[in-house]
Every structure is written in structure tokens, then in C-alpha cells.
Amino acid sequence: MCSIMGFTKQQELEKMMECFRRTISRGPDMSRTINAGEGMLCFHRLAIMGLDERGMQPFCYDGDAVVCNGELYGFRSIKEKLAEKFTFTSDSDCEIILPMYREYGLDMFQMLDAEFALILYDGKKDSFIAARDPIGIRPLFYGYCQDGSIVFASEAKNLIDLCGEIMPFPPGHYYADGQFVRYCDLTTVETFSTDDLETTCSKIRDLLVKGIEKRLDADAPLGFLLSGGLDSSLVCSVATKVLKKPIRTFAIGMATDAIDLRYAKEVAEYLHSDHSEIIISREDVLEALDYVIYTLGTYDITTIRASMGMYLICKAIHEQTDIRVLLTGEISDELFGYKYTDFAPTPEAFQAEAKKRVDELYMYDVLRADRCISANSLEARVPFGDLDFVRYAMSIDPAMKMNTYGMGKYLLRHAFEGDWLPNQILYREKAAFSDAVGHSMVDDLKEYAESKYSDAEFEAKCKEYDFATPFTKESLLYREIFEKYYPGQAKMVKAFWMPNKEWEGCDVNDPSARVLSNYGDSGK
């Protein structure tokens, strides 16, 4: 994980550096800035690949320069081909970017199998290019300075007091010649796969294994977040088989009613992992709330709830271990279904919801994982976001993905029947992370918010916001903290993450699956 910033026209130096220092946690190892035409490129490094100083950015070549926060999978084969024309001096995957740009131009972005955000200066054209991966796993924001020049940065907090309106850089796009161009659309499916059930599940398994395997390539120590739910457990199981040695796993739960800890322990024992448990209290959660919202740059209820446990577990990993890279289980729900998508009225509606959720991931679950992990100077890797895996999962006939099996995510579960996981884990009912840390955590947050406002204060304060208007005292609390750090920037987030209220059974006023009628044995 690194932090990047690119000014297309330099501003007052002290102001530029002050803005850039706000995200030094993303790259605490080394920092460097260089002039690029009338602008400047800035880089904070967290060394993951090519650990010595030769891997430090910005990379420069023949008048061009680039900063990239990313992991470029399969870079060695590309590097080998480019080495016929270009000389490389480091083991960093990102060193291939400028040679790729010289060789392929803007078509290079379609060739990358990567989680990345980059800013590139073309010295010959004296112009800037920026780009972001198709899902938006790596963050990038932009805005305009008072002189009209555009500036790019890893996080919104870099741009506060610098730009009037701060906007997320759209995933799967590049910016060149003053235009945003979409170079990759993963979620629009013209023709669905005709594979039968067994073939579909076989491909799901093979593609996920490959996605996990490529994300195990790191020169820094690896760790795994393990909730004991299906998604993180599968990542841990596959990694154990691929590495052929015990992995290091971490689970978190409230001191009073942690749900996930016992399931995580069961998976860890099955996999013989080096397992650690992090126990948190009501005080830990409330004490961290303000900083977590500042770190996230959101007021969204479900994102903040789920971030409390994730931030605190990552904080403990950073303080107590030498881990630098964490693999997580995000993006499975968007592809294969939530508890609420059991209510999808038709396959077409299921597919439309999956498309919406994947397209918006960068504002919700992916944002949560990136900020909670990077705030603690760690790097996140998300195997379910593997591009080949996402393309295939989106192409599966949605009638096959709908829950007609009496168990959500049946295809993913069936794909890994065998010796991957204990059957009771493989077919465990889903519990949302914010609930599974312990139902008391969300209850504590709600109770705290209730104590902050009288009913009259709540009604009056909600009227101050005409966009994403708070609708509970909890949502008002989060919005007020957000506005303290990001005043007037609420439109960075499209809306509150909520189940599809147009579906029968989903017209609820809380994003937790606990309020749904089909919650059943989830979270027990």
C-alpha cells in the first residue's frame, strides 16, 4: 500500500506538502517528490515488492515519470518481454509501467491484471495521465484547484482545503487530454454463460484458486483476516494448500458476545494456522469511532459499522506483528448474493443488483478494506476481486445464482465441497461482519448515538442536510463527524448502502441483515 499525489500545476509548496503528509500511514517507509513539467508527483512508499531503495518511486524514464499504488500480477512475464527493449534496475512490479506506456500507449490499461491507481507524466507531451483499476480496489480522488488545474490523490483527505469539490476517480477509467475514458467494464454482460451447474462450479473453484495464488506473491510477510465465514475461510484454505505451510490468521470479536471467534478458531484448527484472536470492548469501539470516520471519509452506516472491527484488528496486527500484506474476503457478496438478495423477484433483478453493487464497491466495502488496512500501514489484497474471476462470476446465468437451493451462495459453497473446509463452515449461514464481531457492537453504537441527541435536536439537525439526509440518530452522529473533517463533501458517496427497498421484504430502515425476515440462524 502506498500513497500517491499528482499536481498538474504546482501550488504553494508548504500547502502541497501538508496535504500530502496526511496519508503517510499508507507509505511510512520512504517519501519522495519530483517536479514534472509545471506540476509535481509525490510518493509515500510501503515496500512490498522489490524491498530495497531501487524500488522507490517515482520511476522515471526518458523524460516520463510515474507514481503507482498497486500490485501488477503477472508482471514478470511482461517484464521479460519488455526487457528486449528496456533496461530494468529493480524488482518492483511497478517499474514496468513506463516501458509499457512507451510500447503500448493508453492501450496498456486493458492489458493490466492489477489492483492499481497511478499518475503518469508524459514528458514529450508535457501532459498528465491518471488511471484506476476496474473495480476501484486501490483508491484515487481528484479535484480542481483555484487556478483550474486538476490534482489527483490517493485519499480525499489529501484534497481538503485544496479543492472545492472532491470526487472519486471512476474505476476502470483513465484520464488523458482532459477526458475520462472507460477502458474496462466488468459488469455489463451481453451474453450469459451456458455452462451447466457442475462446470460452473468447477470454473469458480479454478479461477478463485488462481486469483488467490497470484496474490500470495510478496517479498513482505503475509497475513489473513479470518472471520470463520465462508469467504475469508475459503481464502485461508486455498492459501494453505498453495503455500503448503501454515499461514498466520487473525480474528476479532467483542469481549461479551463475539459470534465469529469460535468459527474462526474451528477453521484455524482445521487448517493448522498460526491463529491470533483480538478481543475488543465497548470502550475500544467508541474511542476509535471519530478516527475511523476520518480515516474512511464516509458517513455510510454499514461501512462505518463494519469498519470498527476491521480497523481495530488491523491496528493490533500492525502493533504486534511484522505482517505487511493482508488477504481478505471482500467482494464475494456482491457477486453471489447477500441475505437480502434472497428476495430478488427475478433473475434479471438479481443481475441488475449485482451489477450495481460491483460498480459501487469502491464507495463501500472496498473503501472500508483499503482505509482500515492502509491506516495501519498494511496492504490489502482482495482475491474475490480478481478480474478473471469477476468477469466469469458476472457472466453466470443469474437464475443459477439466485437462492433456490435453501442456502445463499450455493454455487461458491458447492464449488469447494471436499477437503477444503469443515462442512459446517462451508454451509454456515451468513452473518454480516459488523454483527458477527458481536451484536453488542452495533447495539453500543446505536445506544451511544441515542444519548447524543434529544428527539427535537435530531429532527432539527437532520434538516441541515438536503443530500443523504440522516434518518436515525446513529446516521446523524456519523454525518456530523464526517462533516467535521470533510465539510460539504457528502456527494463523494452516492447514497446510504441499503437493501433494495423496492423488493418485498427489503423495505427496512437499517442496513443490517439482522432486520430481515430471513436472517434465521445467521449470526448464531
Q: Which of 136, 98, 99 is nearest to 116 (CA)?
A: 136
Q: Which of 289, 294, 288 is nearest to 316 (CA)?
A: 288
d(CA 416, CA 385): 18
- Quick one: pLDDT at residue 498? 94
- Quick one: pLDDT at residue 310? 96
- Quick one: pLDDT at residue 436? 67
Residues 512/442, Cβ–Cβ less than 8 Å: yes
pLDDT < 70 stretches in the chain? 430-436, 520-524
Active-site option among 2, 42, 68, 372: 2
Instruction: Specify the pTM.
Output: 0.95
User: For 154-196, what is each residue's pLDDT tens digit?
Assistant: 999 999 999 999 999 999 999 999 999 999 999 999 999 999 9
Sign, CA torsion 390/396/399/401: negative
- Quick one: pLDDT at residue 524? 55
Q: What is the 3-state secondary structure (H, E, C) of 239-250?
A: HHHHHCCCCEEE
Determine the Cα angle at 218 with ends 313 and 120, to 5°: 100
Residues 172/182, Cβ–Cβ less than 8 Å: yes
d(CA 234, CA 428): 12
Query: Please, what is the angle between helix 230-243 and helix 260-271, to 10°?
Result: 20
d(CA 14, CA 275): 45
State the cell numbers at 350: 438479481
- Quick one: pLDDT at residue 434? 58
Domains and CATH numbers, the chain: 3-182 (3.60.20.10), 207-282+298-437+493-515 (3.40.50.620)
d(CA 114, CA 385): 10
The region, left, alpha or beta by phi > 0 then psi within -120 to 50, assigned to residue 255 is alpha
- Quick one: pLDDT at residue 362? 97
Does residue 19 carry a catalytic annotation? Answer: no
- Quick one: pLDDT at residue 371? 97
State the Rg of the chain over Cα: 22
Q: What is the longest distance spanned by two Cα atoms in the chain?
A: 71
The region, left, alpha or beta by phi > 0 then psi within -120 to 50, assigned to residue 445 is alpha
The region, left, alpha or beta by phi > 0 then psi within -120 to 50, assigned to residue 133 is beta
- Quick one: pLDDT at residue 199? 98
